[in-house]
């Protein structure tokens, strides 16, 4: 079972800072303030080199390419939303460099910091008074004709039918045993972390991050009796297609999209590595759920 690592101090410097450049106008004043804070605390950090072009005020800070930053940094700070964290997790791959999320919006479940509380939390994080939240990752192998591609997903893999108004028909096997044939608009294969993402909006269950399980959740199934399925994380999922009106697509955390042919075969299993999220000592997953989902409010 995945547990949080705690009861020790961590040296997280130097920090590498990754930013959602698509929201650079909104992020710029917060990033400038954050860098001033880090400099005042004598904290070592490095910025992605593309920021120098967008924000000349940061010219005096150290800038590196993304690959160089990953080699230089002990931990990564992402500034944006959950999508920025997912992108960082994809870049880091199996290196397991800890990630500290700085959230600019309202709904994100993964980030620890916000523009309203980052100073108080960072004071403890700089001292190494943290816990590491280990999150399960999924690995996919897609055999698409002569091509074979592999992807990782912290949230989910999503199969969908593109622009066709007709449903797709796909077959799911678990450890080589036939499980079900779905007629649906698509299928979500989700981690416990992803249980509060697309799967939740498709009436899937919420799993706490330490549950070693995978959710198989059909999107708008033709038969109402086809409900979300939770299976042990150590099982192997195989997906094939019986009918795909105009082609199918596979996304990994919404970061990559692969078009599939009708003979495509997808194998999904738990990855060998985790994604490590930096948390303050007082972090509670249930507090996050209550706040983000407005539990207890009318």
Distance CA 157, CA 239 (A): 12
DSSP states along 99-125: EEEEE-SS--SS--EETTTHHHHHHHH
How do 156-160 and 147-153 pair as beta strands? unpaired
Contact of 168 with 243, CB cutoff 8 Å: yes
Q: Residues with catalytic annotation?
A: 82
Distance CA 222, CA 182 (A): 8
State the DSSP H helix or E strand holding residue 71, giving kind and residue range, or none if neither.
Answer: helix 66-72
Q: What angle do CA 85, 86, 87 make, to 5 degrees?
A: 90
Contact of 175 with 293, CB cutoff 8 Å: no
Distance CA 277, CA 23 (A): 22
Closest CA to 101 of 138, 60, 135: 135
């Amino acid at each position: 079972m995945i547990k949080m690592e705690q009861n020790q101090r961590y040296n997280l410097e130097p920090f590498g800072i990754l930013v959602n450049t698509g929201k650079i106008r909104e992020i710029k004043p917060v990033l400038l303030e954050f860098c001033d804070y880090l400099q005042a605390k004598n904290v070592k950090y490095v910025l992605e080199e593309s920021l120098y072009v967008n924000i000349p005020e940061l010219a005096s800070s150290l800038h590196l390419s993304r690959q160089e930053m990953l080699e230089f940094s002990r931990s990564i700070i992402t500034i944006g939303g959950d999508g920025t964290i997912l992108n960082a997790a994809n870049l880091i791959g199996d290196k397991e460099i800890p990630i500290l999320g700085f959230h600019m919006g309202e709904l994100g479940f993964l980030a620890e910091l916000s523009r309203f509380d980052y100073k108080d939390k960072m004071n403890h994080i700089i001292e190494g008074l943290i816990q590491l939240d280990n999150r399960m990752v999924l690995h996919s192998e897609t055999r698409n004709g002569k091509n074979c591609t592999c992807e990782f997903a912290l949230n989910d893999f999503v199969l969908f039918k593109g622009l066709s108004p007709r449903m797709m028909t796909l077959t799911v096997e678990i450890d080589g045993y036939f499980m079900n044939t779905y007629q649906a608009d698509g299928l979500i294969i989700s981690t416990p972390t992803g249980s509060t993402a697309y799967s939740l909006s498709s009436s899937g269950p919420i799993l706490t991050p330490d549950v070693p399980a995978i959710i198989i959740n059909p999107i708008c199934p033709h038969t109402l009796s086809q409900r979300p399925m939770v299976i042990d994380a150590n099982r192997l999922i195989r997906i094939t297609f019986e009918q795909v009106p105009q082609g199918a697509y596979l996304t990994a955390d919404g970061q990559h999209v692969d078009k599939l042919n009708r003979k495509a075969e997808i194998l999904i299993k738990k990855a060998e590595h985790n994604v490590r999220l930096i948390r303050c000592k007082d972090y509670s997953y249930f507090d996050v759920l209550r706040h983000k989902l407005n539990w207890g409010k009318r």
